[in-house]
Amino acid sequence: DAGVIQSPRHEVTEMGQEVTLRCKPISGHNSLFWYRQTMMRGLELLIYFNNNVPIDDSGMPEDRFSAKMPNASFSTLKIQPSEPRDSAVYFCASSTPGTSTDTQYFGPGTRLTVL
């Protein structure tokens, strides 16, 4: 069974450009989580979805960040416009059935560099 799939694995862009990160959760998982990892702030939860509905987006840093989950097998995290301080590794994770006891499985991450 394939794990969580993220694309692209690496993204280099210039300040002001739009960036879209993609995630395909494990089939059958109905919760999806977006995290950001930096040296300064560690691992931060940005937003999570349950049954395609955003449950908690309090971690989204500002309006430049948006996330969608149009169906159970796909989610996007968009940054528009991007800034150098957005440079980080972005992880997607999924779990089932989305209760506190369930294990989150992480994708390999997208390393974003904003010049």
Partner 1 sequence: AQSVAQPEDQVNVAEGNPLTVKCTYSVSGNPYLFWYVQYPNRGLQFLLKYITGDNLVKGSYGFEAEFNKSQTSFHLKKPSALVSDSALYFCAVSRPGNTGKLIFGQGTTLQVKP
**DSSP conformation letters of 71-92:** ETTEEEEEESS--GGG-EEEEE
- Among 13, 20, 50, 113, interactor with partner 1 by CB under 8 A: 50
Separation of alpha carbons 82 and 4, rounded Å: 25
Any contact of residue 98 with partner 1 (CB under 8 A)? yes
- Among 11, 77, 79, 109, interactor with partner 1 by CB under 8 A: 109
Q: Which stretch binds partner 1 (CB under 8 A): 20-28, 60-68, 69-77, 99-107?
A: 99-107
- Among 82, 91, 112, 114, interactor with partner 1 by CB under 8 A: 91
